[in-house]
Amino acid sequence: MTATPKNATYRLVTGVPYRGLSDASGASCGLDLYHPENAPGFATVVWLYGGGLVSGQRHVPAELKEQGLAVVAVDYRLHPQVRAPVYIEDAAAAVAWTFRHIASFGGDPARIFLAGASAGGYLAMLVGLDRRWLAACGESADRLAGVVALTGQMVTHFTVRAERGIPERQVVVDELAPLFHVRADAPPILLVTGDRELELLGRYEENAFFQRMLKVAGHTQNELHELKGRDHGGVEAPGHALLLDFVRRTPAVGGDPRAG
């Protein structure tokens, strides 16, 4: 990754529409872009917040500020105003916007990472692994330098199941589960969870099985970190340190893997 000067200044561009759509509550498809100025070639993290697909709003995580990279903080429409797959489509559209526009702000289009926490991690993995969502936007998931989920759900999300009348503890793995789309040629993947004894409803085990199936499929650039002593809500802040390390050592798309 091109080094960003330590004395770089940062700019925040707010309320950028990436789809021009809104839901019944008036919530819009907008994003904020936080980026270094006068420091071309920086990496970008497209950040999807958590909240169970029912709550939350876009924000630039404090731990990702002044770290030599850009953050695209995305709002996506939520249940119950919308249902699956609308929020997946929104996440993909925000990534497509980033592919098309980040170079004009000085970013490297080959160094775009898709990341999220909890429900945002679920969306990140779906968009990164199931090529159809970005293809519908005229883009390719193969352009992603990496995909990161901080305590993300790897089976079909419990809110998606609730929309179908399926109980929270009845596990479903279908086309709206990241597990359904494991493939050998997926981008590099970082998984972070809380302590398996403190996490939500087997969240660590979901991620462990997801990683195992990636390896079975032939995917080699994946890692899983279990943060001992951390519950679900305690993963995001320390998880950002792992995300930053992952971004810094992962090569650009098409780059030399030894260069990271």
Q: Mean of the pLDDT values across residues 182-209?
A: 98
Residue 257 has pLDDT above 90, yes or no: no
- Structural domains in the chain (count): 1
Report yes or no on 80 lying in a domain.
yes
Other Cβ atoms closer than 10 A to 194: 25
Report yes or no on 229 lying in a domain.
yes
Report yes or no on 172 lying in a domain.
yes
Burial of 202 (0-12, 13-18, 19+ CB in 10 A): middle
- DSSP E strands in 184-242: the ranges are 189-194, 222-227
Which of residues 194 and 5 earns the better pLDDT score? 194
Give residue-wise pLDDT tens across range 12-68: 999 999 997 666 655 679 999 999 998 999 999 999 999 999 999 999 999 999 999
Report yes or no on 258 lying in a domain.
no
> Of 99, 87, 109, which is closest to residue 29 (Cα–Cα)?
87
Query: What is the predicted pLDDT for the residue at 26?
Result: 55
| 241 vs 238: CA distance, rounded Å | 6
Burial of 258 (0-12, 13-18, 19+ CB in 10 A): exposed
Report yes or no on 208 lying in a domain.
yes
Phi, psi dihedrals of residue 139, rounded to the nearest 5°: -130, 175
Percent pLDDT > 70 in the chain is 93
Report yes or no on 256 lying in a domain.
no
Query: What is the predicted pLDDT for the residue at 8?
Result: 87
Lowest-confidence region among 100-104, 130-134, 226-230, 252-256: 252-256
Lowest-confidence region among 91-95, 130-134, 168-172, 253-257: 253-257
Q: What is the mean pLDDT of the chain?
A: 94
Domain extent, residue 161, equals 10-251
What are the start-end ranges of the H helices in 104-176? 119-129, 132-135, 158-163
Tokens of 154: 């790897």
pTM: 0.94
Report yes or no on 3 lying in a domain.
no
Query: What is the predicted pLDDT for the residue at 1?
Result: 46
Q: Mean of the pLDDT values across residues 194-215?
A: 97
- How many residues are given for the chain? 260
**String of DSSP letters for 31-58:** EEEEEESS--SEEEEEEE--STTTS---
Percent pLDDT > 90 in the chain is 89
| 43 vs 247: CA distance, rounded Å | 8
Q: What's the Rg (C-alpha) of the chain?
A: 17
**CATH label of the domain that carries residue 180:** 3.40.50.1820
Query: What is the predicted pLDDT for the residue at 258?
Result: 37
